[in-house]
């Protein structure tokens, strides 16, 4: 990953976590950033293929039916833990922001920040990178407005 990042020309940092970060809210607290600047990477399944969805940490629950309508990909759902482990050799929380070779959907809300913080593929490292870089580093990437069922405020309250 570091080799790809170094040759990409995009500014980035690989930040060492002293504790395992298990959620967007834990990441925001740990790094002292806004919740919306965290960028959880989710592996989805739809139309017979896997996709990567990178969302703002403000989203608590994605509305997959609405996302399917917006993207034109019917039947979108979260990939199961088993599917992720068997296909990619990853556990939940280890999904990197790029490098899986998957078509990628990037949440427009992330572009409100100069840098976002997300998975590197190593649970001990967090990748800090400009959201625009995610479009260049991932295949078949595009920006989407990710519909949500529940959104969290900066204070951790549900809106």
If you ran DSSP here, which 8-state letter would residue 84 be given? H
Cβ atoms of 55 and 42 closer than 8 Å: yes
Q: Does pLDDT of 156 surpass 60? A: no
Look up the pTM and report it.
Answer: 0.91
Q: For residues 151 and 140, give the distance between their C-alpha atoms in angstroms, rounded to a whole number.
A: 27
The domains found in the chain, sorted by start residue, are 2-149 (3.90.960.10)
pLDDT at 1: 84
H/E stretch holding 126 reads: strand 125-129
Paired strand residues for 151: 59
Per-residue pLDDT for 155 more than 60? no
Tell me: pLDDT of 37 over 90.
Answer: yes
- pLDDT value at position 44? 98
- Per the CB < 8 A criterion, the answer to whether 116 and 11 are in contact is no
User: Which H or E element spans position 131?
Assistant: helix 131-137
């Amino acid at each position: 990953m570091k080799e790809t990042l170094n040759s990409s020309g995009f500014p980035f940092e690989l930040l060492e976590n002293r504790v395992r970060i298990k959620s967007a809210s834990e990441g925001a607290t740990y790094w002292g950033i806004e919740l919306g600047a965290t960028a959880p990477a989710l592996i989805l399944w739809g139309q017979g293929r896997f996709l990567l969805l990178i969302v703002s940490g403000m989203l608590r629950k994605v509305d997959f039916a609405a996302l399917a309508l917006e993207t034109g990909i019917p039947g979108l759902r979260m990939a199961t833990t088993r599917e992720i482990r068997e296909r990619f050799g990853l556990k939940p929380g280890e999904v990197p922001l790029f490098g899986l070779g998957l078509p990628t959907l990037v949440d427009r809300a992330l572009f409100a920040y100069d840098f976002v913080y997300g998975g590197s593929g190593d649970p001990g490292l967090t990748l800090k990178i400009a959201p625009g870089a995610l479009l260049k580093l991932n295949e078949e990437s595009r920006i989407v407005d990710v519909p949500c069922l529940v959104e969290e405020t900066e204070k951790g309250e549900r809106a």
